[in-house]
């Protein structure tokens, strides 16, 4: 009796499996699971998405930069790019959120050509800065309070629009900032020159701005309107 019951149960289970297979396969034989084909996300161009050349080796155009006021450093493209992005990080530290090594990694130049969004390729040319990308990852929005977004917008406006925020990209990456003008940009040169002047001028530069100033807010809103992807 026990043997017959077990057989009925087994047959019933096998019948259920066969029926399920028929539903999956449209009544035919059970189909083998499809093998997923990963998309090729390797950046193969000689320039990054913003038009800057990608060096063959880090030492050729990049160097380690201090983020003043933080005790932290980041590897960036030397010259005007480093001046602008390091200043942005300093202002982020003062006006948006403190930069601390314990919180995570600050990424500038990187050699890894695997990208999930085209604008991530800007790291390859040393013209991008990501402040804690693991905390503020690609595709996740709403990481900052409104007053922090106001400060970010103010920083971008102060830099004359030569830097774009990843929060305005699609998909968004709110941790990322990158140079948004070509290598020959005179605007970039002028902004960098101004920042270097501020470094030796009392009461100028990071930590001295009133981000609630109506004129500054008006300027930042106008830039945001033009930069949003």
Average pLDDT of 17-39?
43
Q: What are the respective helix, strand and coil percentages of the chain, to the nearest 5?
A: 45, 15, 45
Summarize pLDDT for 71-117 with one digit per residue, the tens: 999 999 999 999 999 999 999 999 999 999 888 899 999 999 999 99
pTM, to two decimals? 0.81
* Average per-residue pLDDT for the chain: 85
Distance between CA atoms of residues 114 and 83, nearest Å? 26
Distance between CA atoms of residues 119 and 224, nearest Å? 18
Residue 51 structure tokens? 């038009």
- Residue 28: what pLDDT? 40
Residue 149 per-residue DSSP state = H
Axis-axis angle for helices 186-199, 80-95 (nearest 10): 60
Percent share of the chain, pLDDT over 90: 72
Q: Concatenate the DSSP letters of all residues of 99-128 into one string.
A: --GGG--EE------B-SSGGGGGGGGT-E
Summarize pLDDT for 175-214 with one digit per residue, the tens: 999 999 999 999 999 999 999 999 999 888 888 998 999 9
Measured on CA atoms in the order 21, 27, 30, 31, is the torsion positive or negative?
negative
**How many CB atoms neighbour CB 44 within 10 A?**
7
**pLDDT tier at 59, thresholds 50, 70, 90:** low
Summarize pLDDT for 110-138 with one digit per residue, the tens: 999 999 999 999 999 999 999 999 999 99
């Amino acid at each position: 009796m026990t043997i017959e019951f077990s057989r009925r149960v087994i047959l019933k289970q096998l019948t259920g499996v066969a029926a399920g297979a028929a539903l999956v396969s449209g009544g035919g034989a059970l189909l083998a699971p499809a093998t997923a084909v990963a998309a090729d996300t390797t950046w193969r161009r000689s320039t990054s998405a913003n038009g800057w050349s990608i060096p063959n080796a880090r030492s050729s155009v990049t160097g380690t930069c201090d983020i003043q006021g933080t005790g932290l450093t980041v590897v960036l493209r030397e010259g005007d790019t480093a001046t602008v992005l390091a200043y942005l990080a300093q202002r982020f530290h003062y006006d948006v959120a403190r930069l601390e090594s314990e919180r995570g990694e600050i990424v500038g130049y990187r050699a890894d050509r695997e990208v999930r969004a085209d604008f991530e390729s800007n790291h390859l040319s040393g013209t991008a800065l990501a402040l804690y990308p693991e905390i503020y990852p690609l595709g996740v929005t709403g990481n900052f309070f409104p007053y922090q977004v106001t400060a970010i917008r103010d920083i971008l406006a102060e830099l004359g629009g030569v830097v774009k925020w990843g929060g305005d990209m699609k998909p968004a990456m709110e941790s990322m900032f990158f140079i948004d003008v070509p290598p020959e940009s005179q605007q970039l040169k002028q902004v960098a020159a101004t920042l270097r002047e501020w470094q030796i001028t009392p009461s100028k530069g990071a930590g001295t701005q009133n981000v609630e100033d109506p004129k500054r807010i008006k300027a930042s809103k106008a830039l945001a309107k033009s930069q949003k992807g």
